[in-house]
């Protein structure tokens, strides 16, 4: 049996798919006997209760008075090196190239003794930041200096290669959901708080960034609600929220839309939905669509980025070109008005989530990447 590892994990610990994946991976690795050290500015929000084998090291930013901007990146790099030394870490697994992979590279230089680093790319670090000429060389350096690089979809691998001329190998490791948490929940009573028995529920969950095209969500819902008695549940919050609230008011849809804000128990909330709407402009993977799939909820969305690698058009959802709200509304209506078709999609969702995005096999993939970089068979 291969030896158990001591792994440092750095991610954005607040809301966001990358933080969710990093934290869940840490929990699963700890269950498998590895020792996990989260090195972040606050406790990852999905960490929850006490876990055996998991430790948290807080990055405190030095606020020395000459600093106009307190240098978080330098504090993080120093903390990484300090924890690596004290805890004798085997490797650092960082989520996001900027700044985390750059900090890991610095920490490695400080250690000078072959601390290994693994970088997982999640999307925005490439699709947005790598477009910025002032950051391009830095991101390329961080990728080249990592001992292994993983990305959450083939589309993201391709984008990374195209934008940054990266020729070194990038491992594909899809995101996953914990099947013990994500399964169809019994939510009849909760559902009745939002919709009458004859009404369908459409749901959108995101951080309300412009890239999510929440405005399209409202456009789709308006078209659907003219033909199917239904409610729209909006979950999460972010920069576009106020604009969306105004749009809903102007369209006279207030009594058909509920804002739920940020929610902790996504599996419970998502289980109320009949369809999930994900019309994003860009999406390297679309973790929320996988969470929905594992709860038996098909996605109506765009065919942007990595979404088609996750959602099989005509089997576990319907995908249309970005901005084609007419087509997305037609897809939703088709599913919401045909019970047999919806049941078929639901079964296909459950099967695909279990078979292709299961926590066990993806955790094993990460483990084998760790052993590979450490030269352990």
Interacting residues toward ligand GMT by CB under 6 A: 16-18, 21, 122-124, 127, 152, 175, 207, 209, 211, 282-287
Residues with Cβ within 8 Å of residue 278, at least 6 apart in sequence: 204, 206, 212, 286, 288, 289, 299, 300, 301, 302, 307
Q: Which is nearer to ligand GMT, 127 or 299 (CB)?
A: 127
Residue 337 beta carbon to ligand GMT: minimum distance, rounded to whole angstroms? 29
Q: How far is the CB of 374 from ligand GMT (least distance, A)?
A: 24
Query: Minimal distance in Å, beta carbon 210 to ligand GMT?
Result: 10
Report, in Å, the least distance between residue 100 CB and ligand GMT.
11
Between 152 and 166, name the residue whose CB sits nearer to ligand GMT: 152
Which is nearer to ligand GMT, 175 or 230 (by Cβ)? 175
Residue 232: alpha-carbon gap to chain centroid = 22
Closest residue to bound ligand GMT by CB: 123
Q: Which residues pair with 301 in a beta bridge?
A: 278, 319
Give residue for tokens 């819902």. Answer: 221
Q: Are 211 and 278 in contact (CB under 8 A)?
A: no
Minimum Å distance from CB 177 to ligand GMT?
Answer: 11
User: What token pair was written down for 60?
Assistant: 């405190």
> Looking at beta carbons only, is 18 or 359 nearer to ligand GMT?
18
- Kindly tell me which of 159 and 222 has the beta carbon lying closer to ligand GMT: 159
For strands 257-261 and 275-278, give the pairing.
unpaired
- Strands laid side by side in the 257-261 sheet: 257-261, 230-235, 200-205, 275-278, 299-302, 317-320
Q: Which residues pair with 222 in a beta bridge?
A: none
């Amino acid at each position: 049996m291969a030896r158990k590892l001591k792994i440092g994990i750095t991610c954005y610990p607040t809301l966001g798919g990358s933080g969710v994946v990093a934290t869940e991976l840490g929990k699963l690795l700890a269950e498998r006997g590895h020792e996990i050290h989260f090195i972040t500015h606050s406790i990852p929000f999905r960490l929850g209760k006490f876990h055996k084998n998991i430790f948290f090291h807080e990055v405190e930013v030095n606020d020395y008075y000459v600093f106009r901007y307190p240098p978080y990146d330098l504090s993080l790099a120093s903390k990484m090196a300090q924890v690596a030394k004290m805890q004798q870490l085997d490797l650092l697994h960082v989520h996001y190239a900027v700044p985390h992979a750059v900090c890991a590279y610095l920490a490695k230089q400080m250690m000078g003794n072959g601390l290994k680093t693994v970088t997982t790319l999640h999307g925005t670090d490439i699709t947005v930041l790598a477009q910025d000429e002032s950051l391009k060389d830095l991101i390329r350096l961080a990728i080249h200096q990592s001992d292994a690089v993983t990305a959450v979809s083939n589309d993201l691998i391709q984008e990374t290669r195209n934008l940054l001329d990266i020729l070194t190998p990038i491992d594909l490791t899809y995101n996953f959901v914990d099947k013990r948490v994500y399964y169809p929940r019994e939510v009849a009573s909760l559902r009745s708080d939002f919709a009458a028995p004859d009404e369908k529920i459409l749901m959108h969950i995101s951080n309300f960034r412009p890239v999510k095209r929440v405005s399209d969500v409202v456009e789709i819902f308006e078209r659907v609600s003219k033909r199917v008695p239904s409610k729209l549940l909006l979950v999460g919050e972010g920069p576009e929220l106020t604009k969306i609230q105004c749009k809903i008011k102007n369209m006279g849809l207030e009594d058909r839309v509920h804002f739920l804000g940020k929610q902790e128990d996504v599996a419970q909330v998502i289980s109320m939905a009949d369809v999930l709407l994900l019309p994003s402009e860009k999406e390297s993977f679309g973790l929320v669509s996988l969470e929905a799939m594992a709860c038996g909820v098909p996605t109506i969305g765009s065919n942007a980025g990595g979404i088609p690698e996750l959602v099989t058009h005509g089997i576990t959802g319907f995908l249309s070109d970005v901005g084609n709200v007419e087509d997305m509304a037609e897809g939703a209506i088709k599913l919401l008005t045909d019970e047999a078709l919806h049941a078929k999609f639901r079964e296909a969702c459950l099967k695909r989530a279990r078979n292709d995005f299961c926590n066990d096999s993806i955790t094993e993939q990460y483990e084998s990447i760790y052993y590979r970089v450490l030269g352990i068979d």
